[in-house]
Amino acid sequence: MKLLKTVSELQANLAQERKKGKSIGFVPTMGALHQGHIELIKQSAAENDISVVSIFVNPTQFNDKNDLLKYPRTLDADYKLMHATGTTLVFAPSVEEIYPEPDTRQFGFGTLETVMEGQFRPGHFNGVAQVVSRLFDIVKPDRAYFGEKDFQQLAIIRALVKQLNLNIEIIAHPIVREPDGLALSSRNTRLTSDQRKNAVIISQTLFESKAKKESLPLTEIKQEVIEKINAVPEFQVEYFDLVDRDSLQTVKDWTDSEHIVGCIAAYAGNVRLIDNISYY
């Protein structure tokens, strides 16, 4: 496993492997790796000859600069964690390496980007599109791996690949959870002990709502989820929406879509957590 910090080094290494006809898998991350990342990385290593993992905290996707400053940066620990994953190359560039000039590109994803995360984090998905398209251009992978916890981001990435006509297969990995059900996230490390203990309410309430699908109208389930989480001290739901899996548009009845997903963002103190659940 090699740690590379410049585009030229990475591309030189990848060019040699491409000449040998080797397939390339890619897992873009912002570091602070946890078991969810590790599962993605292992899948990439298992399905490709060469597996590249990038570690880069992308400034253009943070609409809250304090969130950017607080985002954990643990490169040494991340590198050690990857030793047994089958990773070939770790790419950990500087901001200047990814953006030698300011990236002023504006992407458009229609209604995919105006709901949920897009509504509450203006500019976020444009920043995601900027960095992912830049990384795709640098790595030129055959396959790229993303977690389903960032469900809306996954839809945006698929739309980006289609929009730019890229020959990259986007592979989704199911949400990886703690034993108590909390979705793994780098932000979980910022929770106080009480917040962490109570954070299980998010996944627990989602699972319970799925069990009630046959007996309750969709609108009642939606209201019940929000009220139950908001009743926990320090917890506040930012949004909870039930949407069509593909269009991400709100559904109002269980018959409105064959594939309904419930997506949630909630604050535990000042830590923002997201999760989702499929109802079919």
List the catalytic residues. 37
In order of 152, 216, 279, the CA distances from 210 in angstroms are 20, 10, 6
Write the CA distances from 32 to 38, 71, 72, 163, integer angstroms.
11, 8, 6, 30
81 backbone φψ class: left, alpha, beta (φ>0; ψ -120 to 50): alpha
DSSP 183: B
CA 1 from centroid of its chain's CA atoms: 24
Residue 235 pairs in a beta bridge with: 268
CA dihedral (152, 155, 156, 162) in degrees, to 10, reads 180
CA–CA separation, 157 and 113 (whole Å) = 11
**Look-up: residue for tokens 């597996």?**
51
- CB of 125 closer than 8 Å to CB of 109: yes
Distance CA 38, CA 16 (A): 26
User: How many CA atoms does the CB half-sphere of 158 hold within 13 Å?
Assistant: 16
